[in-house]
Structure 1
Amino acid sequence: MPARDIYHNNVKNALIKDKWIITHDPLTLKFGKKDLYVDLGARQLLAVQKAESKIAVVIKSFTEKSDVDDLEKALGQYILYQDILIELEPERMLYLAVPNRIFDDLFEEPIGKLLLRNHRLKLITFAPKQEVIKQWIIPS
């Protein structure tokens, strides 16, 4: 099992505060002979629709020397997990959770805007110290 991201518990606590129930820590994806591990799986009851929403969350801290290198690695992991989830659990939405400073540094810049404009990923931004979700970003 891979090591947890430094913000793992911060995101987990933020999701709980946002009324999500953590169902998997980690969410194991068995595909062929390989096991992959998404950081968190969660669900939330949508009372109005009497339905349930399920998510999987990849948590990335972006602590290496280059935010772009970290973005390349995170995006590759995200795409791999997304493709497998489509096969195994198509109802579960995948999100990349990033600290709000990373959103400001990368996703408010042209490179991040390009990824969002091309519907490459869904984001959760969070404040690590306060352990709160700042934004849910679903490209339209």
Structure 2
Amino acid sequence: MPAKDIYHDTVKNALIKDGWTITNDPLSLKIGNKDIFIDIAAEKLLVADKKGQKIAVEVKSFIGTSEVEDLKNALGQYVLYEKILQRQFSERILYLAIRSIIFSSLFSQEIGQILLEDNTLKLIIFEPEQEIITQWIN
């Protein structure tokens, strides 16, 4: 099993505070003879329609020497995981969890805006100190 991101437990706690139930930690997928692990899977019961929302969350710290390199790696992983998730658990929506400071520095600039404009990825923005989710971007 892969090592957990340094913000793994922070995001897990933030999801719980936001009313989510953690169902898998990690969510294990098998594609051919390869094993894939998405950091967290969670559900939230919506009383209004008696159905639940199901998500999978990949947590990324962006603590490497280059935010652009971290973004390229995270984006490649996100696309791969999303494709596999669609085949095996099509009811789950994949999110990439990033710190609010990373969102501000990358996604306020053109490089991040391109990804947001064409809905390339879904984001959970979190504050690590308070262990809270500040924004969902679908």
Rounded to whole Å, the distance in 1 between the matches of 2:39 and 2:27 is 6
What TM-score results when the alignment is normalised by the length of structure 2? 0.99
Residue of structure 2 equivalent to 1:51: 51
Unaligned runs of 5+ in 1: none
Look up the match of 1:89.
89
Could you tell me how far apart the structure 2 residues matched to 1:50 and 1:31 are? 32
Cα-to-partner distance string for 1:42-90 (whole Å, 9 max, x where unaligned): 0000111110100000000000010000000000000000000110011
* Pairwise CA distance, 1:118: 1.3
Is 1:137 matched with 2:137?
Answer: yes
What secondary structure sits across from 1:101 in the alignment? helix
Moved over 6 A (4+): none
Alignment match, 2:36: 36
User: 1:133: how far off?
Assistant: 0.2
**1:82-139 CA-partner distances (Å, limit 9, x unpaired):** 000110011100000000000000011111110011111000000001000000001x
* TM-score, structure 1 normalization: 0.97
Q: Which residue matches 2:113?
A: 113
Tell me how large the CA RMSD over aligned residues is. 0.5
Of residues 12-21 and 111-120 in structure 1, the stretch that sits farther from structure 2 once superposed is 111-120
Give the distance between the partners of 2:9 and 2:81, measured in 1 at CA.
21
